[in-house]
Amino acid sequence: MKSSNRFAVAASTLLVYTIGVVLWGAFVRASLSGDGCGDHWPLCNGVALPVEPSLKTIVELTHRVTSGLCWIGTLVMYVVARRLFAHGHATRAAAGWSLFFMSSEALVGAGLVLFRMVADNPSTARAAWMAAHLTNTFLLLAALTWLAVSAWRRPHGVRFTGGVWARRAFGVAGLAVLLVGVSGAVAALGDTLFPASSLAEGIREDFSPTSHIFLRLRIWHPVIAVLGSGYLLWLASAVLRRDQGSRTRGLGLTLGSLVLLQIGIGLVNVALLAPVWLQLLHLLIADATWIVLVLLALSSPGRGSGATLVAS
């Protein structure tokens, strides 16, 4: 197998692995295990390997170890990309941005722990930290998706340089998905910290002026999600009308299908009072929707290209 093919396989594997780490991070939040290592970072409760750790400590420590492996893998990919691809090649740029967002992801995670924005902390500042965390995670997944796609596209790679319509349309779509994701993260935090015993009770808490702000903000997530989903469905249909290529058509249909699936899962999530397993599935579909959107943006007509491959 050529070096470029091995690199592409490794980049794709890193993307899939990172999605798993992201889902485990969501389980850390949903299981209130974020303080499993106390307010110590990078050590866990002041030591490298805790003796007789609690279940919360194991959950949190597992997330730290897997996240650390993610960072190491991204660093290796960055170093290899600089050796394998010529200066100015799109894949080198993608590797650089992947390492940047992976590093900032680690710093945001460290901040959550050091400032105790974890477990059952109900402070309003935690919502801002979660918004930053989710935004960085999505940008990281976008960079890793770009890295994987560009590595497979020989000899020039691929860049986000479509025409004016594509830049505007996908830019709005990206902002919409981020806004839906942030509102969903706040809603999930409210579900975790203030679980309701019934759907009726949950609805009353959403509209009660005495409820915590996380609960009062929760009602906005479905509204924002419907508006964002409507735009994504329009974008998918618009792309299908503008480009009849098999790759673009398949991605457009996949995007529309994922949006509709996500709406259905969201409704079930509300009806079942947001069980942890369904929250994770909801996040997985959100990640998949975002990645397909990135793939569609990379496949838009009029994209530019990078330099040439220097090794194989």
Q: Is residue 203 part of a domain?
A: yes
pLDDT at residue 281, as a whole number: 97
CA–CA dist 83, 310 (Å, integer): 8
pLDDT at residue 83, as a whole number: 94
Q: Is residue 303 part of a domain?
A: no
Largest CA distance in the chain: 64
Selected residue with higher pLDDT from 240 and 39: 39
Q: DSSP class of residue 154?
A: T
For the stretch 206-254, pLDDT in tens is: 999 999 999 999 999 999 999 999 999 999 999 888 776 677 889 999 9
For the stretch 270-300, pLDDT in tens is: 999 999 999 999 999 999 999 999 999 998 7
User: 176 is in which domain, residue-wise?
Assistant: 3-298
pLDDT at residue 166, as a whole number: 87
Q: Is residue 225 part of a domain?
A: yes
pLDDT at residue 161, as a whole number: 65
For the stretch 1-34, pLDDT in tens is: 578 889 999 999 999 999 999 999 999 999 999 9
47: which strand partners? 44
pTM over 0.85: yes
pLDDT at residue 157, as a whole number: 86
pLDDT at residue 239, as a whole number: 86
For the stretch 105-163, pLDDT in tens is: 999 999 999 999 999 999 999 999 999 999 999 999 999 999 999 999 877 789 886 67
pLDDT at residue 52, as a whole number: 86
Selected residue with higher pLDDT from 37 and 161: 37
Q: Is residue 312 part of a domain?
A: no
CA–CA dist 296, 250 (Å, integer): 9
Residue 268 · residue 222 · CB < 8 Å: no
Quote the number of domains for the chain: 1
Q: Is residue 309 part of a domain?
A: no
Q: What is each CA distance from 148 to 4, 23, 101, 162, 187, in whole angstroms?
A: 11, 20, 15, 18, 32
In terms of DSSP H, where are the helices of the chain?
3-30, 55-84, 90-114, 125-152, 164-193, 199-207, 213-218, 220-242, 246-271, 276-298
Cβ neighbours for 163, distance < 8 A, ≥ 6 positions apart: 300, 301, 302
Q: Is residue 107 part of a domain?
A: yes
Q: Is residue 306 part of a domain?
A: no
